[in-house]
Structure 1
Amino acid sequence: MMKLDLSCSVWVLAVALLLLVRITAGSILGAAVNIELLEQDRTQPVRAHYSAVSSLPCPALNQLCKETDCMNQLSSSPLTGALPSPGWCLHQWKKNIPEQYTSALQLRSNRSVLLQSRADLSVRADTNRVNQPPYVALPPPVRLQAACPQEIPVNVMDLDGDEIRCRYKNTDLELLQLNEETCMLLYEGGAPLGQYSVLLMVEDFPQSDREAEPFSTVPVHLLITVESGAGCSVVPQFSDVSPAGGSVIHVLPFEEVHVNITVDSRVQSVSEIAVTGPPGLFKSPMEIGQNFQSSVTLSWVQGPNQFAHLVSICFAANTQSLQSNIRCIWLQQTQTDPLPPGTELKCKEHEMSLVLPLSFLENVHFSALQLNDPTCPVFYNWTHVTASFPLTGCGTKRMHFGSELLYTNTLRSINPNSTISRMATLILPLACRIPAQRAKGPAFKISIPEEVKTFGAVSFWLEFHLPGMGPMSNQTRLPSFRGAPQGRAARSTARMDILDLHVFSNCSLARAELLVGSCVESETEDFANTKPLLNQGCTNGNGTLEILTSTSTVRIFRLYLSSLSINGDTMYVECVMHLCVTTKQTDRCPDPCSGTPNTTIIESILTHNYTVRSGPVSLIKVTENSATTAKPQSATPVAQPSTSQSLTATASRSLDTAAFWVITVSLLVVMHLP
């Protein structure tokens, strides 16, 4: 059993701390808000960065944020986990808010989670600057064994170096203790099995005045699951190669960060290493090694500065009845300043070229400058450093950041002496960023194929068939389902009980995959009122199951009409879909509902999103010889694509640098006029 040292600590007993809740589809399992001032400008509103963990199926952004000005954070696919059942996903978005603001998160009939934040926009007397609020990390869902004591850290950080304290916002049951000064929760055991809601407020105070009012407040909500277990076994332990909790990694613009996590578990095998982190964080498939070790690798690229200056990565190892201690690390984005005039990066069709003036580079070993591949030449004279290198060589990396394509390299100086030197070190990340939008004007062109050149002239349509009928009857007669189907009682009515929704594309491109984002059902042709059938490509509870097919451009979903509570004798269906193809034959397109998604950095090309509607689908049972039995209902696009991912680029330019001789260039594509 864990030995807990409570000496020299200030613990506050939680009275009415937890509300017993039940996880249902779409429940909020955790949420946090981090707030920042916009460029230290007190006339501007506060930027709030939201993170929310919800149970599967993943809700759409408009279900989590009801306001119209919520901006989805750029992400190729959301992070997901399997435990607690039925699994979870992480959503992140941002919006501008006033200095005092309350957000209400609510999914379906669950209790609303109120997230209150407050920022002090006055200038501090001790720093002569506006205060920076504290940051709080959102961990994966917390799991406890009912009889086993456990410490639960609330991971916080403050860039001003202020004192941080945590306090309860809600109080209902006597179950946990909170050390307000260390932000540590203590579970002493003995709670009934179930899920419990905890809402904490994180506040920063001046170091010199313990009686002062807090500068600002940010919230964090946790849903803690208490489970049964076979005794207080030794939980999985992280090995020495894993980063220590509270570690800070400084990240340069367009720099790629790699984090290795390895866990030892000798009592039970590790089911997953659950991870939460910033949008665009990729997690490799878990590898099982020798000596009871399991490991994953995390990768993240700092792209355009749309995230908070400080972002967290939290991780925990789960077995079927145990969870390791939760660790969190921080990624701090390096601040940059403009470079001097004359600096230029040209992104050409097959190469990058750099011109860098020497007027501001003092005490740098120019003869020791090199790219990622030190064999590639770098030239210099009395006035400039120049280098030209291919997009496919000299160590240049190609990666996707959401829908954008990045080519990155780094120019750095290598100190030829192993002894301590006063010579400055130059670190200059270079990046050609290709936004997913069409180029304006003929002056610049990237030779990446457009959608029609890649996929051809494609179309999409919907069909409805009874099980075992239609063009895919050999795969729906005795289907294999994604996930285990549950038994359902058939109704003895005149209406159908089961119907198969077929989604088709005529794309003939090899390895092209049809991805269905969402489907809704309506009793009326105008879709004034709708019910979800699919959500972000995930089946909707027990009412929908996906049938696995051998054709990548066909998706089939079995609809259990009674479970979906579809009324009336006729329905209309609308689906959003697109095509995807990876540039590597060994990769698969991201699947947010696979349970163990492919979370490596995948290079893929996507079509637009297309919205397709069916005609009227009759739900009345008819005789076998009737011509209207599950008559296929074709559909055509009724709206323009909702997102554009045409792969030519708008040329633009941004040059930045950092102080202290760590010089960085955040370079977008620079227009090169003839």
Structure 2
Amino acid sequence: MACAGVWTLMVCVLSLPHITAGSIISAAVSVEVLDQDGSEQVRAHYSLVSTLPCPALDEVCPEVHCRDQLSSSPLTGLFPSPGWCLRQWQNTIPQNHTSTLQIGSDGVVSLYSRADLSVRPDTNAVNQPPYVSLPPPVRIRAGCPQEIPVNVMDLDGDEIRCRYEKNGLGEFMRLNEETCTLLYEGGGSPGQYSVQIRVEDFPASVKILNEAKPFSTVSVHLLITVESRADCSTVPEFTGVSPAGGAVIHVLPFGEVQLSITVDSSVSEIAVIGPPGLFVSPMETGRNSQSSVALSWVRGPNQFAHLLSICFAANTQSLQSRIRCIWLQQTRTDPLPPGTELKCKERELQMTLVLPMSFLEKLHVSDLQLNDPACPVFYNTTHVTTTFSLTGCGTKRMHLGSELLYTNTLRSINPNSTISRAGTLILPLACRIPGQQAKAPAFKISTPSEVETFGAVSFWIEFHFPGEGPMAAETRLPRIRSLPPVRAARELRSAGRMDTLDLHVFSNCSLAHAELMVGRCVESDTQDFANSRPLLNHGCAPGNGTFEILTSISTVRIYRLYLGSLGIMGDTMYVECLVHLCVSTKQTQRCPDPCTETTDKALVNSIQTHNYTIRSGPVRLIKATETSSTTAIPSLTAVPVAKPSASHTSSHTLDRGAFWVIAVSLAVLFLQFVTD
């Protein structure tokens, strides 16, 4: 190995792999020492980016005891074609091990790792190997020099050095061993090139590292895409609200991390690689052409690595921004003493904590407080106790997968600015509400129904001419999301048929802040809907013929239909819509807009009913004449029977106002404790 700070060059030209379905794009391994003493094994954490479709676990990890960490909605991206997805898993392996990864008949990727399990004389503890992050697929432009950082971190504060194991770009790629930075000098033909790097940690006291033996080694494999020569102009840049590269965020148990990533221009995607359970919102483009996504991650009980990385890059068809990576450090916790009790009182929606005073000998118990300092914390000579509401005292609500969490924190606050030798307590408290009924011998669970949550409600459809009906004040001078197709409306006025009609969707729910959500609506010429045409999809108009009219009532949705633009030419139509109710658990937020939240992986602070299908009766589309005995108002749906959508089945017959039961109940509690 060359001396620290010297650029090293390895000429080793490999054949260029071709990215096809089932190819490995990048992979990394980090290892951690197991808790038990005397073990000669370590826990390995693997991350792998492959082309779509996502491979099964046994395809990428043929070894036994692999534990899948695939989330229900794996992270994916668009570039390079045909797109990629992230797989993550862990395994217990020997302290010196080479893992062989292969998908299908493509080339093999080997990841080497080694850990020194002896006690270090300088720390009197076993060494912690370094961590290496896995970035989104790397894209560079031929002829445009660029630096590519390899993001690494060591919790022991050791010196970290990187060295090539393989370098497909040969003389066109150099490596700074000290900073772990790749320098692409601009050469090489367009294609994909393998670069494999070993990351090693050394004692900080050693001056000549090339003569020292590293404590441990981990590996990262990158398949770098060199694209056709293009203008080496400015690439997309992240704005100031985006987290800085290299930032470290300490996360307590049940803590939530919320980040915003914004790019200064319109891009095709913001690609993100992160830990299992990371939520990435759909990308939005603002009026100033900025592109942004929101990230959210909740630390629940897990066996993930203590240090987790989130890496992101902005992509256009021909450009990629600089890649940034940040770190999430899961703060280690100490066990709670015997006699500690935390109970969730289901009916009262309360949490009660009892903590032995012997556990708090080094603390000023008078300084203890919850998230809301106004909520009382009591103590005597034996115990500290507090009882607080799940809807007050600063208690937060958040989602952890399919579970709803209520969290608060008991902490000691030193009111004085002077240095004190008193200890510090940070005690996260959490009640978990599972998404389905749970069973365990230690507690009893009941399941409130949708009727108990939202009340006895129903849904129905009505049709009215613009400016008429119960919402006439809203439709006479409507506030429409975008301008209506005036030309199409004019073309139909002489056709003897209706040209414009307002579709009203109602719910009689009286729950405060409840919102009616309309997902999909279709139209058909026949009552059996054998052939149908879309009116709405995810609450959005699929074309130029449907426009939403904004209303002041959250349980009413109105859509203006331009029948000619929608291609509705018959005399009669029938309409079917998929609807549900939603209420946000935070008063400062609204439910997710179905027009933008197109995936169900979102980490949303809301409670929803199941989806229900409602249908209209026959709607006459012929204009009434002066001699006609029929009214000019189209026939309306009375009140159809609300029934579950096709995705929910039941053996029960639902009358109007009958709903499925949401299996939501208070369950087992979790306590954690950390001291400074």
Runs of 5+ unmatched residues, structure 2: 454-527, 538-574, 585-589, 611-648, 650-661
Per the alignment, do residues 601 and 97 of structure 1 end up closer, same or farther by CA in structure 2, a change over 3 Å counting? farther
User: How much has 1:651 moved relative to structure 2?
Assistant: 6.7
Residues 81 and 89 of structure 1 are in contact (CA less than 8 Å); yes or no, is this contact kept in structure 2? Answer: yes
Amino acid at match of 2:138: V
User: How much has 1:430 moved relative to structure 2?
Assistant: 0.5
Residues 431 and 670 of structure 2 are in contact (CA less than 8 Å); yes or no, is this contact kept in structure 1? Answer: no
Residue 46 of structure 2 is aligned to residue 80 of structure 1: no
Per the alignment, do residues 296 and 653 of structure 1 end up closer, same or farther by CA in structure 2, a change over 3 Å counting? closer
Question: Any idea what SS the aligned residue of 1:433 has?
Answer: strand
Amino acid at match of 1:372: N
Residue 531 of structure 2 is aligned to residue 474 of structure 1: yes
Counterparts of 2:319 and 2:384, CA distance in 1 = 56
Counterparts of 1:19 and 1:42, CA distance in 2 = 44
Give the aligned partner of residue 250 of structure 2: 250
Amino acid at match of 1:214: P
Amino acid at match of 2:223: L
Give the aligned partner of residue 106 of structure 1: 102
Give the aligned partner of residue 234 of structure 1: 234
Per the alignment, do residues 129 and 582 of structure 1 end up closer, same or farther by CA in structure 2, a change over 3 Å counting? farther
Mean Cα deviation higher: 181-190 or 417-426: 417-426
User: How much has 1:9 moved relative to structure 2?
Assistant: 3.7
Give the aligned partner of residue 221 of structure 2: 221
Residues 354 and 386 of structure 2 are in contact (CA less than 8 Å); yes or no, is this contact kept in structure 1? Answer: yes
Per the alignment, do residues 195 and 597 of structure 1 end up closer, same or farther by CA in structure 2, a change over 3 Å counting? farther
Residue 142 of structure 2 is aligned to residue 143 of structure 1: no
Q: Deviations over 1:198-227 (max 9, x none)?
A: 111111222334212222221111111112
Amino acid at match of 1:245: G
Give the aligned partner of residue 431 of structure 1: 430
Amino acid at match of 1:136: V
Give the aligned partner of residue 386 of structure 1: 385
Residue 674 of structure 2 is aligned to residue 658 of structure 1: yes
User: How much has 1:163 moved relative to structure 2?
Assistant: 1.7
Report the identity percentage. Answer: 67
Residues 437 and 447 of structure 2 are in contact (CA less than 8 Å); yes or no, is this contact kept in structure 1? Answer: no
Residues 29 and 44 of structure 2 are in contact (CA less than 8 Å); yes or no, is this contact kept in structure 1? Answer: yes
Residues 76 and 403 of structure 1 are in contact (CA less than 8 Å); yes or no, is this contact kept in structure 2? Answer: no
Counterparts of 2:84 and 2:267, CA distance in 1 = 17
Per the alignment, do residues 19 and 412 of structure 1 end up closer, same or farther by CA in structure 2, a change over 3 Å counting? farther
Residues 204 and 217 of structure 1 are in contact (CA less than 8 Å); yes or no, is this contact kept in structure 2? Answer: yes
Per the alignment, do residues 442 and 363 of structure 1 end up closer, same or farther by CA in structure 2, a change over 3 Å counting? closer
Amino acid at match of 2:195: V
Residue 291 of structure 2 is aligned to residue 294 of structure 1: yes
Counterparts of 1:52 and 1:119, CA distance in 2 = 21
Give the aligned partner of residue 492 of structure 1: none
Aligned pairs (5 A) from 1:612-627: none
User: How much has 1:45 moved relative to structure 2?
Assistant: 2.3
Residue 112 of structure 2 is aligned to residue 96 of structure 1: no
Q: Deviations over 1:458-490 (max 9, x none)?
A: xxxxxxxxxxxxx8762699xx9xxxxxxxxxx
Residue 35 of structure 2 is aligned to residue 39 of structure 1: yes
User: How much has 1:449 moved relative to structure 2?
Assistant: 5.9
If the length of structure 1 is used for normalisation, what is the TM-score? 0.66
User: How much has 1:655 moved relative to structure 2?
Assistant: 4.8
Question: Any idea what SS the aligned residue of 2:54 has?
Answer: coil
User: How much has 1:581 moved relative to structure 2?
Assistant: 11
Give the aligned partner of residue 150 of structure 2: 154
Residues 198 and 217 of structure 2 are in contact (CA less than 8 Å); yes or no, is this contact kept in structure 1? Answer: yes
Residues 589 and 604 of structure 1 are in contact (CA less than 8 Å); yes or no, is this contact kept in structure 2? Answer: no
Question: Any idea what SS the aligned residue of 1:395 has?
Answer: coil
Give the aligned partner of residue 268 of structure 2: 271
Residue 161 of structure 2 is aligned to residue 165 of structure 1: yes
Per the alignment, do residues 129 and 426 of structure 1 end up closer, same or farther by CA in structure 2, a change over 3 Å counting? closer
Counterparts of 1:203 and 1:591, CA distance in 2 = 44
Residues 590 and 599 of structure 1 are in contact (CA less than 8 Å); yes or no, is this contact kept in structure 2? Answer: no
Residues 445 and 667 of structure 2 are in contact (CA less than 8 Å); yes or no, is this contact kept in structure 1? Answer: no
Question: Any idea what SS the aligned residue of 1:298 has?
Answer: strand
Mean Cα deviation higher: 188-197 or 121-130: 121-130
Residues 440 and 650 of structure 1 are in contact (CA less than 8 Å); yes or no, is this contact kept in structure 2? Answer: no
Counterparts of 2:609 and 2:94, CA distance in 1 = 37
Residues 400 and 601 of structure 1 are in contact (CA less than 8 Å); yes or no, is this contact kept in structure 2? Answer: yes
User: How much has 1:588 moved relative to structure 2?
Assistant: 8.7
Q: Deviations over 1:509-562 (max 9, x none)?
A: xxxxxxxxxxxxxxxxxxxxxxxxxxxxxxxxxxxxxxxx98879xxxxxxxxx
Instruction: Give the number of equivalent residue pairs.
Output: 511
Counterparts of 1:399 and 1:651, CA distance in 2 = 15
Amino acid at match of 2:205: S
Residues 133 and 152 of structure 2 are in contact (CA less than 8 Å); yes or no, is this contact kept in structure 1? Answer: yes
Amino acid at match of 1:228: S
Residues 133 and 325 of structure 2 are in contact (CA less than 8 Å); yes or no, is this contact kept in structure 1? Answer: yes
Give the aligned partner of residue 66 of structure 1: 62
1:178 pairs, out of 175, 178, 198, with 175
1:305 pairs, out of 302, 305, 310, with 302
Question: Any idea what SS the aligned residue of 1:238 has?
Answer: coil
Residues 73 and 601 of structure 2 are in contact (CA less than 8 Å); yes or no, is this contact kept in structure 1? Answer: no
Amino acid at match of 2:203: P
Give the aligned partner of residue 335 of structure 1: 332
Amino acid at match of 1:247: A
Counterparts of 2:63 and 2:434, CA distance in 1 = 27
Amino acid at match of 1:119: A
User: How much has 1:30 moved relative to structure 2?
Assistant: 1.0
User: How much has 1:152 moved relative to structure 2?
Assistant: 0.4
Counterparts of 1:604 and 1:116, CA distance in 2 = 46
User: How much has 1:170 moved relative to structure 2?
Assistant: 2.1
Per the alignment, do residues 382 and 118 of structure 1 end up closer, same or farther by CA in structure 2, a change over 3 Å counting? same
Residue 41 of structure 2 is aligned to residue 26 of structure 1: no
Give the aligned partner of residue 260 of structure 1: 260
Counterparts of 2:205 and 2:595, CA distance in 1 = 50
Give the aligned partner of residue 126 of structure 2: 130
Counterparts of 1:130 and 1:591, CA distance in 2 = 49
Amino acid at match of 2:61: C
Residue 204 of structure 2 is aligned to residue 207 of structure 1: yes
Give the aligned partner of residue 460 of structure 1: none
Residue 195 of structure 2 is aligned to residue 198 of structure 1: yes
Amino acid at match of 1:272: E
If the length of structure 2 is used for normalisation, what is the TM-score? 0.66
User: How much has 1:325 moved relative to structure 2?
Assistant: 1.1
User: How much has 1:181 moved relative to structure 2?
Assistant: 2.0
Q: Deviations over 1:339-371 (max 9, x none)?
A: 333321112213211112333435755455433
Aligned pairs (5 A) from 1:387-402: 387-402=386-401
Mean Cα deviation higher: 325-334 or 431-440: 431-440
Aligned pairs (5 A) from 1:44-59: 45-59=41-55
Mean Cα deviation higher: 141-150 or 18-27: 18-27
Residues 432 and 669 of structure 2 are in contact (CA less than 8 Å); yes or no, is this contact kept in structure 1? Answer: no
User: How much has 1:142 moved relative to structure 2?
Assistant: 0.7
Question: Any idea what SS the aligned residue of 1:432 has?
Answer: strand
| The structure with more radius of gyration | 2
Counterparts of 2:400 and 2:109, CA distance in 1 = 31
Residues 48 and 95 of structure 1 are in contact (CA less than 8 Å); yes or no, is this contact kept in structure 2? Answer: yes
Residues 40 and 95 of structure 2 are in contact (CA less than 8 Å); yes or no, is this contact kept in structure 1? Answer: no
Question: Any idea what SS the aligned residue of 1:359 has?
Answer: helix
Counterparts of 2:35 and 2:355, CA distance in 1 = 28
Counterparts of 1:50 and 1:354, CA distance in 2 = 38
The root-mean-square deviation of aligned C-alpha atoms, in Å, is 4.2
Residues 190 and 226 of structure 2 are in contact (CA less than 8 Å); yes or no, is this contact kept in structure 1? Answer: yes
Give the aligned partner of residue 543 of structure 1: none
User: How much has 1:185 moved relative to structure 2?
Assistant: 0.4
Q: Deviations over 1:46-104 (max 9, x none)?
A: 11111111122222223222234211126342112222222221111111111222222
